Amino acid sequence: MFVDSHAHITCDPVFDGLEDVLARARAVGVEIIINVCTDKTTLDRGLALPQTYGAVYHIGATTPHDVKSNGERHFPLFERAASEKRLVAIGETGLDYYYLHSPKKAQQEYLIRYCSLAQKYSLPLVVHCRGRDAFKDLFALLEESLSDGGVALHCFTGGLDEAKMGVDRGWLISFSGIITFTKSHELRRIAKCLPLENILIETDTPYLAPQSKRGRVNEPSFIREVAQTIADIKKISIEDVATATKLNAVRFFRLEGDVVSRCEQGRP
C-alpha cells in the first residue's frame, strides 16, 4: 500500500474529476494522500471533502513563488487551519531561487514565519527548495528558527551533499516523478545512497508525471512508477519500498492513531 506524500488534488484541473482520480488511486493501492493546499480555494476545497473520500490529509502554506503577491493575505488562513488541528503539516514553504517569482527576502521571511507556525502547533514542515544558494540559506535559516519537529524536502532536486546534510539532521527526502526521467542519472545516484528510512515518495500531482506518462496530467495512481524506480535502484522489491515509505510518512505526519482508527472502522 502506497502513500502519496505530496499531491495537489484540490487544484485545477484535478479537482473537477476528483472522484475518478481517487478511485484510480485506490485501485493501484494508494492508501493515503497528503493534499497540498496553497491558497484559499485549494484549502476550502480540501477541508470540505467528505469522509467518504477516505484517507486524505491536508497540509498548507503559501508557496515561495507566491509569497510576494499572496503571502500576507493567505497566512491567516493557514494559521487558523493549523490552530483548528485541520492540517497535518505546514507546507510547502521554502526557497525557490531558480525562478525568483518572489524576492529572496520575502521568501526567507515567510519561511521563518511558517517555521514558527509549525513550531507553535507542533507540526512538521514540508519544504520546497530549488536554485543556486537556496539550500545554503535554507539550512542556515532553519538552524536558527527550527528547534523541534520534522522536515521533509519535497520533490528533491538538489545534490548529494544537500541530501546528506538533510539526512544528518533527521530530515526526510521526497522523490517525485523526476526520478523516473531518462536524464535523471544524478538523482537516481542520490536515491541509491540514501537510507530507505529517510525517503518519501510523491507525485506532486498534477505536475511532473513520471516518464511513461510524460505530457499527461499527473495523479496519485502514478506513484507506483516512482516506487518501482527506487526499488530498481536499490535492488529491493516494490513492496519493500511501499512499506518503508508508508511507515516514514505515517510517522512524519503523525498519523499512527488515525490510521489505526480508520482500519478499525473499515475505512480505507
Q: Which residue from 91, 135, 133 is spatially nearest to 113, judged by alpha carbons?
A: 91
- For residues 251 and 264, the answer to whether their CB atoms sit within 8 Å is no
C-alpha cell at 114: 511558517
Q: Hey, how many other C-beta atoms are within 10 angstroms of the C-beta on 223?
A: 29
pLDDT at 264 > cutoff 50: no
Contacts 24+ apart (CB under 8 A), 73-77: 74/39, 74/40, 75/110, 75/113, 75/114, 77/40, 77/43
In tens, the pLDDT along 68-121 reads 999 999 999 999 999 999 999 999 999 999 998 999 999 999 999 999 999 999
What percent of the chain has a predicted confidence (pLDDT) above 90? 90
pLDDT at 267 > cutoff 70: no
What integer pLDDT is reported at residue 260 of this predicted model?
A: 44
What integer pLDDT is reported at residue 265 of this predicted model?
A: 45
pTM for the predicted model, two decimal places = 0.94
- What phi-psi label fits residue 78: left (phi over 0), alpha (psi between -120 and 50 degrees) or beta? alpha
Strands (E), 122-177: 125-130, 151-153, 172-175
Q: Hey, how many other C-beta atoms are within 10 angstroms of the C-beta on 250?
A: 18
Domain residue extents for the chain: 2-264
What percent of the chain has a predicted confidence (pLDDT) above 70? 96
Domain spanning 2-264: which CATH class is it, in words? alpha beta
What integer pLDDT is reported at residue 258 of this predicted model?
A: 61
pLDDT, averaged across the chain: 94
Show the 3-state SS of 37-64. Answer: ECCHHHHHHHHCCCHHHCCEEEEECCCC
In tens, the pLDDT along 224-245 reads 999 999 999 999 999 999 999 9
The Cα 201–Cα 75 span in angstroms is 27
